[in-house]
Amino acid sequence: MKTYCYNTFLYGVVYYPEQWPEERWDSDLSRIAETGMNVVRMGEGAWSVWEPEEGNYQFGMFDRALALCQKHGLKAVMGTPTYTPPAWLTERYPEVLRASFGGTSLVHGSRRHYNYTSPVYRAKSEAVTDALARHYREHPAVIGWQIDNELNCHLDTSFAQSDHEAFRVWCRERYQTLDNLNNAWGTAFWSQTYTDWEQIWLPRPTVTYHNPNLLLDFYRFTSEITIRFGARQYQIIKEIAPHQFVTHNAFQSMTNVDLSAFVREAVDFVSYDSYPEFKVCDPGLSAEFRDRSESRLLSRMRGVSGKFMVLEQQSGPSGQIGGILNGNPDYLHPTPKPGQMRLWCWNSIANGADGLLYFRWRSLPYGSEAHWNGLLYHDERNTWRLEEAKRLGEEIKRLGATLMSTRCVSQAAILYDFDNESHARIERMTGKFRESNELAVYRVLSERHLSVDVRALSTSETGADLAGYKIVFFPHAHILTATDVKPLREYVENGGTLVFGCWSGYRNRLHWCYSGDDKAFYEDLAGVRVADFTAATPGETSTLRFEHSGTMVPAPIFNEILAATGDNVTTLASYQSDYYAGQPGVTVNQKGAGRVVHFGTFFTPENAASLLDALGIQDPLTAKAEVPPAIQATQRSNGKEEFCFFLNFTNKNQPVRFRETAFDLLEEQKLNGRIDIPPYGVRFVRW
């Protein structure tokens, strides 16, 4: 894992000098510094400023802006501008344009309208990256780079001619022969057999269902070309300016990219764009856990990168307009309530962020993001949001060294991998529930105050890498091999508790379903086989009864009827309805010093909580404090002392009763007995 290469907590804001009159810059940057900030991000949307004509690079505007940054003691993270190609480029070289699934070129006038495989676009992107890196490699204000911007946001696929050609090359390199490809893709079905490489295309419009094995390779290919595009910029910058860090701002979970591979190959560390309002406005999330669910995505960033930055933190109501002709919805999110913005910032920090920049300083009076509000509205008036940012700046100045010296300490992990996430996109009848399945597990662990790492299962994983966790969940392990389970087996045999979700171990890496003894590796580990399965009947409610408590819980979407294959298997819960009433639905297999659970249905908060009860997984804070489920507790350590963030995402006071005296570093006071954490309040305590 690469190391975070800046030793001061970075606190700042995104500022675009090209979007404001130059006479305003000095005042803006002065006020930014007065807010307690030490860094700005700029440049990633300004290719037409950097290179107004082909090969004619202009640095004057940003040189002057950076001089003012120096004047006010601000550092800068510069962005490579490759997510917004200038009009001269797309007009002169139309082959660089992204194409829709139907083959229509997506033209200039928005953003992300290029494709990753065009030789021309790669060359132009590399040239502007090279020019910027050379010009700013010794600039005292420039400490690092953000490559591109939110890769795969809006669209995560492209079907341009160069994409089809690159996919053909990728397939030849992967399979070597058409016989190998035909076997892997199962082309005997529907007479799909290919006899010439020129017959190989990315998925194109067809009468009905696509070959799912082709789709899986399509997603793998898309991930690889995205990584190559970013990795080339990374290589250029590190060759020219190895002392400056390189990162990228992933948005949400950065779809269609193997984020672990991206971090290994394309950045020093990952960054994240955190907009909890998207969760607040998601009707599919439980109201009481909406913005708190952002913690799961922050945990993902920590899981792939260790330490990370937030390069865009929500600073006001966000919204976009102008989608009427292409079907994109216009939207405007609610303004964060007083206290929420600070809460969300501290949540990012609590989950491992070593730097945080708001998006943006001031709302822009034009463009599709005119309602994507900054710390200031369109004028110069101070806002309560700016005052919250000042308060946070004072707190970070006081506590920055403590934050930088501590690391998150997690008692639980949730595993995933790129192939299984891609499979969930293909097999949508259950895959569409993958997010809610994982979130149910995360929520129950969080409400029990277990800090959670959400991490990819990599080929280099060992059981020792997992040894610190009390419990590990792998909710969507549909694609699984004997090689994949080696570190999991080691973790279990050394005393770990491993929980597989339903549909685990059904397919190999070719995306073929297992048959015969091919699945023996899984049955040996879990101690069960699936004797039968069924999708839940629409309109009917399937239930499970946990043996230890008699608790009845839902068993939604998909039910597996399990049969023991080992001697150390115990039924934890049985179905209570339909033709399989009384049959096992949740089992546990004692394996070495540990245990393996197979959970034969989709997770909900209710059934996941009952599972933790059955396994005896308790709140790790019980000895120190009595904390209600409504409070998120995120634990940290510097190796000598223990720390904990308590965050209240609700609009009500939440009581915490301290059994051991603690010291609140934010309020600078001792805590013992009962305290009330106010709505949207934060406590950062040391024991």
| CATH number for the domain that contains residue 682 | 2.60.40.1180
Q: How many CB atoms lie within 10 A of CB 676?
A: 11
| Domain membership flag for residue 1 | no
**Element (H or E) spanning 146, and its range?**
strand 142-146
What average pLDDT does this structure show over 509-519?
Answer: 93
Say whether 374 sits in a helix, a strand or coil.
coil
- Supply the pLDDT for residue 4: 52
- Work out the angle between the directed axes of helices 259-266 and 212-240 (0-180°, nearest 10): 20
In this predicted structure, the answer to whether residue 459 has a pLDDT above a threshold of 80 is: no
pLDDT given for residue 5 in this prediction: 58
Is there a contact between 69 and 29 (Cβ–Cβ < 8 Å)? yes
Q: Are residues 321 and 423 in the same domain?
A: no
Is residue 344 over pLDDT 90?
yes
Nearest to 302, CA basis, from 226, 413, 424: 413
CATH code where residue 433 lies: 3.40.50.880
Report, as an integer, the average pLDDT of 399-403.
96
Q: Which of 44, 150, 421, 560 is catalytic?
A: 150
Find the mean pLDDT for residues 478-482. Answer: 97
Query: According to the model, what pLDDT value does residue 516 have?
Result: 83
CA dihedral 156, 158, 163, 167 (to 10 degrees): 50
Question: Does residue 291 fall inside a structural domain?
Answer: yes
Residue among 178, 186, 189 at smallest CA distance from 508: 186
3 domain-assigned: no
Mean pLDDT for the stretch of residues 548-574? 97
**pLDDT tens column, 96-121:** 999 999 999 999 999 999 999 999 99
Rg of the chain taking only CA atoms, in angstroms: 26
The pair of structure tokens assigned to 498 is 């491993």
User: Is there a single domain that holds both residue 477 and residue 504?
Assistant: yes
By DSSP bridging, strand 528-535 and strand 558-564 are antiparallel
Whether the predicted pLDDT of 341 surpasses 60: yes
- pLDDT of res. 430: 85
Examine the domain organization and report whether 507 and 644 are in the same domain.
no
Rounded to whole angstroms, how far apart are CA atoms 471 and 444? 13
Longest dimension (CA), the chain: 78
Q: Which of 380, 405, 430 is the last residue of a domain?
A: 405
- Chain centroid to Cα 638, Å, comes to 25
* Coil, strand or helix at 396: helix
CATH of the domain at 307: 3.20.20.80
Per-residue model confidence (pLDDT) at position 632 = 98
How distant, in Å, are the alpha carbons of 118, 284, 438 from that of 288? 46, 12, 17
Nearest in space to 69 (alpha carbons), one of 327, 311, 356, 361 = 361
- The position carrying tokens 């009500």 is 652
- Phi and psi (nearest 5°) for 329? -75, 135
Helices (H), 455-508: 463-466, 482-493
Contact 272, 354 (CB under 8 A): no
Residue 284: pLDDT band (50, 70, 90) is confident
> Residue 521: what pLDDT?
97
Amino acid, single-letter form, for residue 269: F
Asked if residue 366 lies in contact with residue 373, where contact means CB atoms within 8 angstroms, the answer is: no
Can you tell me the distance from the alpha carbon of 402 to that of 602, in angstroms, rounded to the nearest whole number? 40
Residue 2 in any domain: the answer is no
391 with 420, same domain: the answer is no
CB atoms within 10 A of CB 413: 27
Listed in sequence order, the DSSP H helices in 555-619 are: 605-615
Residue 616 carries which side chain, given as an amino acid letter?
G
Query: HEC profile for 43-94?
Result: CCCCHHHHCCECCECCCHHHHHHHHHHHHCCCEEEEECCCCCCCHHHHHHCH
The answer to whether residue 150 is catalytic is: yes
Instruction: Mark whether 461 is an active-site residue.
Output: no
Least confident of 33-37, 335-339, 429-433, 595-599: 429-433
Structure confidence by residue, pLDDT tens digits, 667-676: 999 999 999 9
Greater pLDDT, 306 or 556: 556
Pair (663, 604) in one structural domain:
no
Mean pLDDT of the chain: 96
Question: Final residue of a domain: which of 615, 638, 671?
Answer: 615
Opening angle at CA 582, ends 436 and 598, nearest 5: 40
Is residue 356 within 8 A of residue 425, CB to CB? The reply is: no
Q: How many folded domains does the chain comprise? A: 3
Q: Look at residue 252 in the predicted model and tell me its pLDDT.
A: 77
**Residue ranges of E strands in 547-600:** 552-554, 558-564, 569-575, 584-591, 594-599
Residues 398 and 416 in one domain: no
Q: Indicate the pLDDT class of residue 489, thresholds 50, 70 and 90.
A: very high
Q: What is the arithmetic mean of pLDDT over 314-334? A: 94
pLDDT reported for residue 642: 97
DSSP 210: P
Torsions phi, psi for 411 (to 5 deg): -100, -10
Q: Tell me, what's the pLDDT at 3?
A: 44
- Answer yes or no: do 416 and 401 share one domain: no
pLDDT band, residue 189 (cuts 50/70/90): very high
Residue 590 included in any domain: yes
Q: How confident is the model at residue 253 (pLDDT cuts 50, 70, 90)?
A: low
Mark whether 321 and 183 lie in a shared domain. yes
Please check whether residues 51 and 161 belong to one and the same domain: yes
Burial letters 109-132, b for 16+ CB under 10 A, else e: eeebbbbbbbeebbebbbebbbbb
| Beta-carbon count within 10 A of 383 CB | 16
Instruction: Please report whether residue 309 resides in a domain.
Output: yes
Cα 161 to chain centroid, rounded: 30
The CA distance from 162 to 97, in Å, is 10
In a domain, 143, yes or no: yes
- The residue ranges of DSSP E strands in 185-270, in sequence order, are 245-247, 249-251
The average pLDDT across 146-151 equals: 98
Q: What is the pLDDT of residue 1?
A: 40
In this structure, the answer to whether residues 398 and 476 fall within a common structural domain is: no
Model confidence at 78, in pLDDT bands (50, 70, 90)? Answer: very high
Last residue of a domain, one of 590, 615, 640: 615
Q: Tell me whether strands 528-535 and 543-546 are parallel, antiparallel or unpaired.
A: unpaired
Verify that 175 and 321 share a domain, yes or no. yes
Question: 379 and 244 in one domain?
Answer: yes
Peptide bond into 362 cis (omega under 30): no
Q: CA–CA separation, 505 vs 519, rounded Å? A: 7
Predicted local confidence at residue 687, as pLDDT: 94
Please say whether the beta carbons of 658 and 672 come within 8 A: yes
| Residue of 286, 410, 305, 309 whose CA lies nearest to 355 | 309
pLDDT of residue 579: 95
Q: Which of 312, 421, 447, 523 is an active site residue?
A: 312
The residue segments making up the domain with residue 681 are 625-686
Report phi then psi at 10, rounded to 5: -95, 120
In whole angstroms, give the CA distance from residue 543 to residue 534: 14
Tens-digit pLDDT profile for residues 33-60: 999 999 999 999 999 999 999 999 999 9
DSSP state letter for 249: E
